[in-house]
Chains A and B, each alone.
Chain A
Amino acid sequence: MNAKSLLVVLAACAIALISGCANRATGSIAADADMSKVRTFYVVKIPADERGVDLLIRDNLIKRGFQATAGPEAPATPVQADAVVTYADKWMWDMTMYMLELTITMKNPADNFPLATGNSYHTSLTRKSPAEMVDEVLGNIFADANRKQGQDRK
């Protein structure tokens, strides 16, 4: 086996690993966070994001009945929102580019302390569109918020 063949086999191992059918979806609320009081969001756009993930998050929040705006990290006027939303996205190539992983974090604008976080990870065989990834992450965050509010009422 020559060097080229060896590299092909190792690359195949790597591709089998990263393009398998692993998936994960989580959403969690911080212990003292009261998400029932959070009605307005400001989504901070990552400067390098050319795919408009910030707008997908904003639109999904609006679809859920919240007020949401998106913009740069340091807007000209102070942020008027109950929560600031940040995100981190990872992309992978397998025939086409797809979103491999998305983490969304909601923070208190007063002290930047996290209120909630969610993460979704889908490799190629279980890939979702960016809009579906956003919906899954936010869905899990608000599901955990509802579960926590139910516990608090008991």
Chain B
Amino acid sequence: MTAAPWPRARRPGPGYLLPGCIALLGGCAMAAGDTAMVPASFDIARRHPGTVRVEVVGGSDTGALDKPRISDAAFTRALAASVLRSGVFPEVAHGTRGDWVLSVILVRLDQPVVAITATVRLEAGWALKRSDAGSTVWKAVIESRATETGLGAATEGAARNNIAEGLARISRLDLSMQK
């Protein structure tokens, strides 16, 4: 059986190929951006006093031809910006300072191999501890997902939803009992 040819008026020329390839390649080799991982709004129950230090592990850099990945540095920046924007803590500390330490391990980033509309799932372990006592006051595994056009956008969406959920849960903690 022979495939029916394209109608002459709608025959695709080379000009159609470039956007097609770009659509396939567009989501790749571009790391998830930290500003795009900051939620636009937050569901915050209460604001805690004190400063918090943010630590992130488990991410990876995006290599050439790689799928978009979330680096430790980008997630750290996005999380720090989200803490400030949400007001969960009034200040983000750097170095070894901070009343609290918020640690996140990016456990699993589940991405499709190739997709135009992609669903990406992110699993992360969150832990909050007092920096002086060293005791963990809260920890949780948070799973998030996002479906967006493009693998990069879906990856950033999954990270954004994870951050929004994590900070919402922290805001519901009663940290005044943890001194």
A and B are partners in one complex rather than unrelated chains: yes
Question: Residues of A with Cβ closer than 8 Å to B?
Answer: 1-4, 6, 9-10, 13-14, 17-18, 20-24, 26, 28-32, 88, 90, 92, 100, 103, 105, 111-114, 117, 119, 121, 123
- Do B17 and A31 have beta carbons less than 8 Å apart? no
Which residues of A lie under 8 Å from residue B101 when comparing CB positions?
31
Whether a CB of chain A sits under 8 angstroms from the CB of B178 is no
Which residues of B lie under 8 Å from residue A113 when comparing CB positions?
125, 127, 139, 141
Since A1-B11, A3-B4 are in contact, a sample of 17 more A-B pairs with Cβ atoms closer than 8 Å, ordered by chain A residue number, is A1-B13, A2-B5, A2-B6, A6-B12, A10-B21, A13-B20, A13-B25, A17-B28, A18-B113, A18-B114, A21-B65, A22-B67, A24-B66, A32-B129, A32-B136, A112-B141, A117-B105
- Do A121 and B66 have beta carbons less than 8 Å apart? yes
Which residues of B lie under 8 Å from residue A10 when comparing CB positions?
17, 20-21, 24
- Do B108 and A105 have beta carbons less than 8 Å apart? yes
Top 7 A-B residue pairs of the complex, sorted by shortest distance between their CB atoms: A31-B103, A22-B65, A114-B125, A28-B57, A28-B58, A13-B21, A30-B105
- Do A3 and B66 have beta carbons less than 8 Å apart? no
Distance (whole angstroms) from the CB of B94 to the closest CB of chain A: 16
Question: Residues of B with Cβ closer than 8 Å to A?
Answer: 3-6, 11-14, 16-17, 20-21, 24-25, 28, 55, 57-60, 63-67, 69, 101, 103, 105-110, 113-114, 125, 127, 129, 136, 139, 141
Which residues of A lie under 8 Å from residue B11 when comparing CB positions?
1-2
- Do B107 and A117 have beta carbons less than 8 Å apart? yes
Which residues of A lie under 8 Å from residue B14 when comparing CB positions?
1
- Do A13 and B3 have beta carbons less than 8 Å apart? no
Which residues of A lie under 8 Å from residue B127 when comparing CB positions?
30-32, 113
Distance (whole angstroms) from the CB of A95 to the closest CB of chain B: 17
With A2-B5, A13-B21 known as contacts, the answer to whether A29 contacts B136 (CB < 8 A) is no
- Do B55 and A31 have beta carbons less than 8 Å apart? yes
- Do A114 and B105 have beta carbons less than 8 Å apart? yes
Q: Across the two chains, which residue of chain B brings its CB closest to A118?
A: B58
Distance of A1 Cα from B60 Cα, bound (Å): 41
Distance (whole angstroms) from the CB of A135 to the closest CB of chain B: 18
Distance of A121 Cα from B4 Cα, bound (Å): 40
Distance (whole angstroms) from the CB of A68 to the closest CB of chain B: 20
Q: Across the two chains, which residue of chain A brings its CB closest to B5?
A: A2
Which residues of A lie under 8 Å from residue B108 when comparing CB positions?
88, 103, 105, 117, 119
Distance (whole angstroms) from the CB of A119 to the closest CB of chain B: 7
Distance (whole angstroms) from the CB of B166 to the closest CB of chain A: 14
20 A-B pairs in the complex with CB atoms less than 8 angstroms apart: A1-B13, A2-B3, A6-B16, A6-B20, A9-B17, A10-B17, A13-B21, A13-B25, A14-B114, A17-B24, A17-B65, A22-B65, A22-B66, A29-B57, A30-B103, A31-B103, A88-B110, A90-B113, A114-B125, A121-B67
Distance of A22 Cα from B63 Cα, bound (Å): 7
Distance of A29 Cα from B57 Cα, bound (Å): 7
Q: Among the listed B6, B28, B55, which residue makes an inter-chain contact with A3, where contact means beta carbons less than 8 Å apart?
A: B6
Distance (whole angstroms) from the CB of A91 to the closest CB of chain B: 10
- Do A32 and B65 have beta carbons less than 8 Å apart? no
